[in-house]
Amino acid sequence: MANTNSPFGFRQFSNSGGAAPTYGQSKYRIAAGNATPIYFGDPVQPVVSTATGYIIQGTASTTIIAGIFVGCEYLSTSQKRTVRSLYWPGADATGDVTAWVIDDPNALFVVQGGSTTFNISGTLSSWTSSPVGQYAQYTVGSGNTTTGQSGAYLSAVGTTVTYPFIVRDLITAPPGANGADPTTAYNWVVVGFNDQLLRTNGAGPTGIA
């Protein structure tokens, strides 16, 4: 069955070397004046240029990422109370926003592929080529202000070593489910972090090869 083009961002799937996700999260900060919404499942980047300790919504680039955004808490200016939300709407905070980010360097995520770039060649039982093992770039897409869900998806694979993710596997089951047909566009892909803040290859805070 052909897959549906309905991106949902990065959804934690499991851990590298573990059967179940740990949902390992850390607290970060969003500046109250940051007018760009951040949605549940969006990649986020540290603001390294100013060394302020804040994060922003990620953009397709080779800039290191902090992790995947999974909600926030802030003092609402309009409601005069603390609000917990799946997404940062881009306004209405008095003071800094507390953000939760999955930054476990071993976390794996399921994300939709955006084109035939992420398909296999061959058959389900015998692949002649696939994107598994390649570096992957994303596009942030359009989030949903009703549900707070991300619209991010993978947009490119290749040998660019500073891409933020690595393709680890493709979703192929259950048969007939949306995203489980790796022979057509918009299939679901399992990725791990590559160029991420807490990963290291022995030469400092970088997971890149």
DSSP secondary-structure letter at 145? T
Q: Kindly report, residue by residue over 66-119, the tens digit of the pLDDT.
A: 999 999 999 999 999 999 999 999 999 999 999 999 999 889 999 999 888 899
- As given in the structure block, the two tokens for residue 164 are 């933020």
C-alpha dist (Å) from residue 76 to 23, 84, 93, 95, 178: 27, 10, 5, 9, 38
Q: Kindly report, residue by residue over 175-192, the tens digit of the pLDDT.
A: 889 999 999 999 999 999
* Sequence ranges of the domains in the chain: 11-16+106-193, 25-102
- As given in the structure block, the two tokens for residue 193 are 């972090």
Q: Are 181 and 171 in contact (CB under 8 A)?
A: no
Q: Which amino acid is at 68?
A: I
Q: Kindly report, residue by residue over 26-67, the tens digit of the pLDDT.
A: 999 999 999 999 999 999 999 865 567 899 999 988 888 999
Which are the contacts of 115, defined by CB distance < 8 A and separation ≥ 6?
155, 185, 186
pTM: 0.91
